[in-house]
């Protein structure tokens, strides 16, 4: 492919992104990537219920492929940054299109989840950073952190009640963020119909609830003594 053709494609992509629909598409695409990671991460975390050997073996397996691991991390980082930037730019476009606020703002046709998207996202991002520093690198838990001892690191982290409470709160915020994000993603790609949209919303709600419940089950199990009693 010639450089002229490449420049042409890049130019079209840039023009598409400048448009409202282009930013919505980026939000949807990065949302799919991040959602896929969440499902995979949950399946990995739930192995803690199978015991330390299984959880530690899973961690060792991931670290046995450093190139793949760092490629996934890079993709996630780019997706997170693109998701946040597109979200901020979309909000700015909406405010520019309606520079004067309503005298009385009505919440007609919007859910609590949709009205809290702008603060649930930063809460989730902030906790993810702390969670990585705490469980993955041990920066905030140096006294008990042991590299590749994923089960112990998880249990020792959640034995600290404030950490568990913060985790649960972040997962509730994640659930609301996912609920709105999942069904609005279909609208972003043009899938919207009075017959199907309510079904999509219900499915999005249950997916968000089940994902959050899966994540929350781990700190609750640690705090109640159902997990990690032998450590």
pLDDT at 12: 67
The class (CATH top level) of 8-223 is mainly alpha
pLDDT of residue 27: 87
Write out the two tokens for 192. Answer: 């919207």
pLDDT averaged per 10 residues, the chain (length 231): 53 68 86 94 95 95 93 94 88 74 49 63 87 90 86 94 95 90 75 78 93 97 92 79
| CA distances to 13, 18, 21, 74 from 8, in Å | 9, 15, 20, 27
Number of neighbouring beta carbons within 10 Å of residue 193: 10
Distances (CA, A) of 154 to 12, 46, 146, 164: 46, 11, 10, 10
DSSP, res 189: T
Q: What is the 3-state secondary structure (H, E, C) of 76-126?
A: HHHHHHHHHHHHHHHHHHHHHHCCCCCCCCCCCCCCHHHHCHHHHHHHHHH
pLDDT value for 107 = 47
Q: For position 101, what pLDDT does the model report?
A: 52
pTM of the model: 0.83
In the chain, where the domains are located: 8-223
Rounded CA separation 211/203 (Å): 12
Give the pLDDT confidence score for residue 108 in this predicted structure: 45
């Amino acid at each position: 492919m010639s450089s002229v053709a490449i420049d042409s494609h890049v130019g079209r992509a840039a023009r598409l992104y400048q448009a409202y629909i282009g930013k919505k598409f980026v939000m949807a695409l990065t949302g799919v990537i991040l959602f896929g990671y969440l499902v995979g991460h949950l399946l990995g975390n739930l192995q803690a219920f199978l015991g330390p050997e299984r959880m530690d073996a899973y961690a060792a397996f991931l670290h046995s492929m450093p190139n793949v691991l760092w490629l996934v991390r890079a993709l996630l980082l780019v997706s997170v940054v693109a998701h946040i930037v597109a979200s901020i730019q979309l909000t700015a476009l909406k405010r520019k299109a309606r520079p004067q606020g309503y005298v009385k703002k009505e919440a007609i046709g919007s859910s609590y989840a949709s009205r809290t998207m702008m603060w649930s996202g930063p809460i989730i991002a902030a906790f993810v950073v702390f969670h990585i520093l705490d469980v993955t690198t041990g920066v905030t838990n140096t006294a008990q952190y042991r590299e590749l001892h994923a089960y112990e690191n998880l249990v020792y982290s959640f034995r600290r009640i404030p950490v568990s409470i913060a985790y649960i709160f972040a997962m509730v915020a994640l659930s609301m963020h996912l609920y709105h994000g999942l069904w609005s993603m279909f609208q972003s790609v043009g899938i919207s119909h009075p017959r199907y949209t309510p079904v999509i919303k219900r499915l999005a709600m249950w997916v968000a609830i089940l994902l959050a419940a899966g994540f929350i089950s781990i700190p609750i199990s640690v705090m109640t003594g159902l997990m990690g009693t032998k450590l």
